[in-house]
Amino acid sequence: MISMCKRCLLFIFLLFLFSCSKDTVFNGGLENRVTAIIDMVPESHHSTFDFTSDAQVSDCSDHDILYIDELEDGSFDNKIFKITLEARDYFRTENNCNDYDWHTTPDEELDHKFVITAFVEEINETMHIVGSSNVFHQSDGTNGMLAYYKLKQNSDGDDNNGAGIEYYGFNAEIEMKELNFHEGTASGVFNATLYRASYVANPSNFEGVDSSSDVDLFDPTNGDLLGDVEDGIIDSIRIENGVFQRVTLINNTSSY
């Protein structure tokens, strides 16, 4: 009798556990925002920037969006979907465009943004997408990713003569925790390794920028891949501990 009661209690507990698991809500970061750490010197871990996407308030534009697009590939039963996470951090004080003040905090003039793009064969509410060092959007449906980061200007207001500094990388990872098509929100975590694409006039003005003339610049959008410089130096950064918490989801597909 006691054994039967124990089995009944165990069954009720498991039933309650599994019924609740369907309603689990991801709470990994700030509501409706993207946060990350930008590590400019991965080897030493001493030079990092905090990234917190700007709040959407009043007439401010939305600075953190996840897009899902369906790409045409010429076939009926083989579809490719593009997932794009975009985030901007331009306004430091209150992280929104209405309460912007240049002189409130030490990093007031720091402006930066990033875009992570992934290509997949299907969309699910939860997904784990991993890129590689040599794969970018292939028409056969092979998963590919491209991460992009731009330091528009640093905390001292230096903008590299107006050009900023750009970085690209294929080595990225996104774990989608929730895609809520009904409410139009997305949540998940991510990280990426990127390599400098831009010539920098005064490298000493920027944290983590190698001053060597042998740096191998990397810009896959212009066909400039790593390895073009013999015995070159790779100037890399990391986007770490990335979290997007119920940011705006824009669904441009007919399938979901």
Residue 190 within any structural domain of the chain: yes
How far lies 204's CA from each of 21, 182, 210, 211, 239, in Å?
51, 49, 8, 7, 22
The pLDDT score that the predictor gives to residue 159 is 95
The pLDDT score that the predictor gives to residue 131 is 86
The pLDDT score that the predictor gives to residue 88 is 94
d(CA 121, CA 179): 16
Residue 16 within any structural domain of the chain: no
Looking at the structure of the chain, the number of domains it has is 1
Residue 8 within any structural domain of the chain: no
Residue 9 within any structural domain of the chain: no
Residue 7 within any structural domain of the chain: no
The pLDDT score that the predictor gives to residue 140 is 43
The pLDDT score that the predictor gives to residue 22 is 45
Residues 189-228 have pLDDT tens digits of 999 999 999 999 999 999 889 888 888 888 888 878 776 5
d(CA 142, CA 19): 35
- Which residues of the chain fall short of a pLDDT of 70? 1-25, 42-46, 73-78, 93, 99-108, 133-143, 227-232
The pLDDT score that the predictor gives to residue 188 is 97
Residue 203 within any structural domain of the chain: yes
Residue 2 within any structural domain of the chain: no
Residue 85 within any structural domain of the chain: yes
Which residue range is the domain that position 127 belongs to?
A: 30-252
d(CA 35, CA 125): 21
